[in-house]
Amino acid sequence: MSEKVREMLSDYIDLHSHKIRNGICEYYYEPAISKLISKERCLANKKGVLKYDGNKLFYKVLPIKDYRMEVIGSNFIRQYYPSPKIIFCRKLSKNYGILLFEYEKSIGCDRGLLVDIFSGKEKPSLAFKKILGLYRNVFSKTITKDYEKSSYVFFNDRIETRLKKYYRKKAIKSIQNVEIKVNGYTININLEEIINNIEKFFLQKTKKWCVASQCDPNDLNIGIKPVIVDCRAGGMNPVMAEFASFFWNNLAHGGYFGPLYRTRFYHDHPAILKKTDKVIKYKNKITHKIPRLRKKFICDYIDIVLVSLFKRIGRYDQWYDEFKNYLSMRILCICSILDMQEKDLLLSLGYLGLFYNNDIDNLDKLKKIIKKL
C-alpha cells in the first residue's frame, strides 16, 4: 500500500470515527435533552445542572448566534486556559441550540468563583496570583497585532443595539457640562460629546494588540481553581478590551452595579448580594467605598500582567485611548445608566468622566488614581 493511499485511508477513518462519536453522543444524551425540554416550558437563555445516568452535566440553551459563538469560543479558549469541555451540542430549532459541558466540581452554590472571595465565602489564598500568572503566560505567548475577531459582541455591536438606543439626544440633553465629585475628584462631563467620540473610535477598522482571551473576565466567569467559563467571545481580542472589562468589573460592576441591577445572574452565588459596596450621595458629591481587595486586584493585574506585556510590545502610545473607549462602553452599555437611581447615575457619570477626560500616559499614573479612589 502506497503512503498516499495510507494517508487517504487514515483521513477517511478519522472523519467517520468523528461522525460515529457524535452519533453515539446524540443517542446517549437525547433522552436527557428530551426530559429537559419536556420539564421546562421555556428553555430560551436557560442554563443549569442536568443529572443523567448518575452523572452531572452543565447545560446552556442559547440563541443560535450565541450558540455558534460559544462553540467556537469554547474550543478556542481550551487551547490556552483550563475550561470545561463541550461534551455535546446540537440545534434545538432554527432559533436555539443546546450545549452540554463537563461539570466543574470546584464550582457550586457560593463557592468556587471569584465572586465568592469578594462575598467572604472563599479565602483569597493564592487565587489571585494563580489567575494573574495564567493571564501573563497566555498573553505573552499570544500577543500579536491583529483585527479584533470576537470582542465586537461586547463593543462594536452594542453601538447600534445599546449605545444609540439607550442614549438618544433628547434623553441626554440635560447631561451637558455637569459637575460631579467622586471620592475627592471633581469631574465635568458632557455626555453627548463623549458618546460622539466613542462612536468615532469604533468606526475605525485598525489592527490592535490582541491576545487569546475570553474578553468577559468578571467575577462569575473566573473560577478560583483557576478555570474560565462562558466563552462566547473567546478568541484573539484587543488586550485593552480585556483589561477594560476586568477593570470595570473590579472597580464598580462586580461589587455594586452587577448585584444591584443584574441580580438574576447571582442566583447560585447570592452571598454577594449582602456584601455590595457602600455608595453615599450628598448633593452632587458621591462617595464610593471600593473594597481594598478589589483595588489591590486591579493594581496587581497592572503589575503582573500589563507591565511585562508592555515590555514585549515596546512602544504602545495608543493604549490609553483604546482603554478609555472600551471602558466607556462597559460603563454605558452593560445596562442603561439613565434607568438607575440618581446616585448610581452620578457615580457612573463620574467614573466615565474621570477616565475618559483624563490624559494618562503610563500605567503608574493609572495605579495612583485607583489607589486614591
- pLDDT over 80 at 203, yes or no: yes
How confident is the model over 219-277, as pLDDT tens digits? 999 999 999 999 999 999 999 999 999 999 999 999 999 999 999 999 999 999 999 99
Same domain, 95 and 122: no
- pLDDT over 80 at 9, yes or no: no
Q: Which domain holds residue 269?
A: 114-372
Q: What is the dihedral of CA 192, 194, 196, 197, to 10 degrees?
A: 170
Average pLDDT over residues 360-369: 96
Query: What percent of the chain is predicted at pLDDT more than 70?
Result: 88
Domain boundary among 50, 79, 102: 102
Task: Output the pLDDT for position 55.
Answer: 84
- pLDDT over 60 at 189, yes or no: yes
Q: Is residue 264 part of a domain?
A: yes
Q: Is residue 201 part of a domain?
A: yes
Same domain, 255 and 286: yes
CB atoms within 10 A of CB 143: 17
Task: Output the pLDDT for position 118.
Answer: 97
Same domain, 94 and 118: no
Task: Output the pLDDT for position 16.
Answer: 39
Same domain, 123 and 236: yes
Task: Output the pLDDT for position 268.
Answer: 95
Among 86-90, 236-240, 330-334, the minimum mean pLDDT is found in 86-90
Same domain, 159 and 21: no
What is the total count of domains within the chain?
Answer: 2
Task: Output the pLDDT for position 21.
Answer: 47
Same domain, 95 and 124: no
How confident is the model over 109-158, as pLDDT tens digits? 999 999 999 999 999 889 999 999 999 999 999 999 999 889 999 999 99
Q: Is residue 175 part of a domain?
A: yes
Q: Is residue 273 part of a domain?
A: yes
How confident is the model over 104-117, as pLDDT tens digits? 999 999 999 999 99
Task: Output the pLDDT for position 244.
Answer: 98
pTM of the entire structure? 0.90
How confident is the model over 275-295, as pLDDT tens digits? 999 999 998 899 999 999 999
Task: Output the pLDDT for position 170.
Answer: 85
**If you average pLDDT over every residue of the chain, what do you get?**
90
Query: What percent of the chain is predicted at pLDDT more than 90?
Result: 76
Cα–Cα distance for residue pair 343/332, rounded to 1 Å? 15
Same domain, 160 and 69: no
Task: Output the pLDDT for position 39.
Answer: 57
Cα–Cα distance for residue pair 258/253, rounded to 1 Å? 5
Question: Are the beta carbons of 298 and 327 closer than 8 angstroms?
Answer: no
Residue bearing cell 491576545: 211
Residue bearing cell 478589589: 294
Same domain, 267 and 146: yes
Same domain, 93 and 211: no
